[in-house]
Chains A and B, each alone.
Chain A
Amino acid sequence: MIKTEHLSHFYSVGTPFETVAIEDINLHIKKGEYVGVIGHTGSGKSTLIAHFNAILKPTSGKIFIDGKDLWSEDKKQRIQTRFDVGLVFQYPEHQLFEETVYKDIAFGPKNMGLSEEEIHRRVEKAMRFVGLSESVLEKSPFDLSGGQKRRVAIAGVMALEPKVLILDEPAAGLDPMGRDEILGRIREYHQETGSTVLLVSHSMEDVSKNADSILVMNRGRCQMHASVPEVFERADELEKMGLDVPRITRVFFALQDKGYPVSRNVFTVEQGKAEITRLLKEGGKNHA
């Protein structure tokens, strides 16, 4: 779905302030994959995702979206491709501007030049995905709570019905309830539409709960792109990059280091519980 070849981006090219933002990124993200993108501030992850919908132009290298070379196309084509890749920025509620929630969600589809009926269908569908009720449709988005505003903003991008949905820290600043709600909605959206989803996050716990694979960015390079267990297997490297593995995973790493026959692939509390009950049962059998 998304492929990059030797993708690099430098800022302030040709001045003494030239800095490398990302360098030589070679990625292949499959259709329908749910990818967690991890890396600390300044690792290049925001620069990377800004390339996927042509907000930034690469200094060198190529990007293919659904097989099409993004920068070999003419401008019109590129705008079309932009609709194929929906990008939800950090704190997306800051982009709301219309008088009503309906109009705000319809802004994207309208820009696509769709018919009224199609726009209507898409707005309703997007509302359902983010779990907003009909009653807020005619309200001003500025009268909603913080969590609701965020959901309206995300619906505004979902209404483009993109093939790829990219979300930059969609849960930042929300309380645990708001965070679980949003991440849950995104997971359902992914399952229901089968579209490719990229979730940029600082939280290993959120990523490990939701994503199929993890892409680790560090100092402008893609350090890892593999399944969740494979990435956590390299916990030492993650820690060196200033990234953390979930607490529960660390517990099981410690247990294994002490010689207990536990799995290293424990990322959630449920998995942890299952692993310990299994051990207790086996332990019981061995002694019986």
Chain B
Amino acid sequence: MSTIIEVSNLSFSYPTEEGKAAHRVLHDIDLKIEEGEFVAILGHNGCGKSTLAKHFNGILKADRGSVHVLGMDAGDEENLLEIRRNVGMVFQNPDNQIIATVVDEDVAFALENLGIPHDEMARRVDEALELVGLSEYRQRAPHMLSGGQKQRVAIAGILAMRPKCIILDEPTAMLDPKGRKEVMKTILRLNREEHITVVLITHYMDEAVQADRVIVMAEGEMILDDTPREVFQNVGLLHSLSLDVPQTAELMFALRQEDIKVPISVLNVDECVAEIEKLLGGGEND
């Protein structure tokens, strides 16, 4: 396995108007993302998670420290095209990232920019639309699609580049539950079946629990970096950061506070039911 993204000692401030003190958004971040991983990043708005993500493909440049993508320095202008081809990015608002007026032409946009020959381009557009399940919609106008479909068009537009890694910055925040499910299914499939590295920024815990690794950020620093099971044990800490915890984990936490012995790491409904059964059954056997 090779390292996709390596961030060391990264600090960043947005340039401010004159007179005001620069607001430091990221503090000394160290992070490694390996090939094939599915990483979720959590944190409240303004904690720096989107800013961090924008360093992964050179949209922003580090003030201090460095970002290497596939061994290439993201601070070097020369590498940018190659980096962006390998690390694609999908944003929150699907309307603001679709460029063309027909679905397949939009998917082809990146390929046109990269100067891919026509026949190869046509093959890749077909393949990308197939992967997100929108082959029948190729001739449609994007503004006539649902939010979930638009977001899948945006993902296809990245996939067409055949990247090693996709970064998704709150891709489901503006979608309804149906659209969210569609997009999550697509993301999971890309990671599990196509072995594409995924970095998912989200507020939804039910999405984060599906990742291999969860990073929690606050005030420009990484607070937690572990498996979802380990991360969601820190119910108190997550609450203090105003983050959600899956209701099932929260129930376990509440019971423990009453000195009822239950494991802390419960993520889904079935696990939770099993634990409560043990608890009640155990009581009867006493």
Contacts and interface: CB of A to CB of B under 8 A. Distances in A.
B254 A248 contact: no
A61 interface: no
Contacts of A145: 45-46
Interface in A148-178: 172-178
B146 interface: yes
Q: Contact residue range for chain B?
A: 35 or more
Contacts of B80: none
A250 interface: yes
A269 B250 contact: yes
A176 B248 contact: no
Contacts of A248: 247-248, 251
Nearest to B283: A283
Nearest to B146: A41
A175 B247 contact: no
A202 interface: yes
Nearest to A260: B280
A255 B254 contact: no
A146 B45 contact: yes
B46 A41 contact: no
Contact of A254 (B147, B244, B269): B269
A103 B270 CA distance: 52
A175 B283 contact: no
A247 B247 contact: yes
B267 to A, nearest CB: 10
Contact of A40 (B46, B178, B255): B178
A145 B47 CA distance: 13
B260 interface: yes
B147 A41 contact: yes
B260 A205 contact: no
B116 interface: no
Q: Contact residue range for chain A?
A: 35 or more
Nearest to A258: B277
Contacts of A135: none
Contacts of B251: 248, 251, 269, 272-273, 276
B258 interface: yes
A198 B203 CA distance: 25
A279 B284 CA distance: 11
Nearest to A249: B247
Given A202-B177, A250-B269, A251-B272, A276 B45 contact: no
Contact of A280 (B179, B269, B279): B279
A131 interface: no
B242 A272 contact: no
A277 B242 contact: no
Main secondary structure of the interface of A (DSSP, over half): helix
Interface in B125-176: 146-147, 173-174, 176
Contact of B277 (A172, A175, A255, A283): A255
A273 B273 contact: no
Contacts of B174: 172-173
Interface string B250-286: 1100110010100000000110110011011001101
A248 B272 CA distance: 9
A202 B177 CA distance: 7
A73 interface: no
A81 to B, nearest CB: 30
A284 interface: yes
B45 A175 contact: yes
Contact of B247 (A172, A269, A283): A269
A254 B269 CA distance: 9
Contacts of B178: 40-41, 242
Nearest to B274: A254
Interface of B: 44-46, 92, 146-147, 173-174, 176-179, 203, 242-244, 246-248, 250-251, 254-255, 258, 260, 269-270, 272-273, 276-277, 279-280, 283-284, 286
30 contacts: A41-B146, A41-B179, A172-B173, A175-B44, A175-B45, A176-B44, A176-B242, A177-B45, A178-B44, A180-B242, A205-B247, A243-B177, A246-B247, A247-B246, A247-B269, A248-B247, A248-B251, A250-B269, A251-B248, A251-B251, A254-B270, A255-B273, A258-B277, A260-B277, A270-B254, A276-B276, A277-B260, A283-B280, A283-B284, A284-B283
Interface of A: 40-41, 145-147, 172-178, 180, 202, 205, 242-244, 246-248, 250-251, 254-255, 258, 260, 269-270, 272-273, 276-277, 279-280, 283-284, 287
Given A176-B243, A247-B246, A273-B255, 15 more contacts: A147-B45, A175-B45, A178-B44, A202-B176, A247-B269, A248-B251, A255-B273, A258-B277, A269-B247, A270-B254, A272-B251, A272-B254, A273-B254, A280-B280, A283-B280
Q: Which 10 A-B pairs have the closest CB atoms?
A: A177-B242, A273-B254, A283-B283, A248-B247, A176-B244, A247-B247, A175-B45, A41-B176, A254-B273, A175-B44
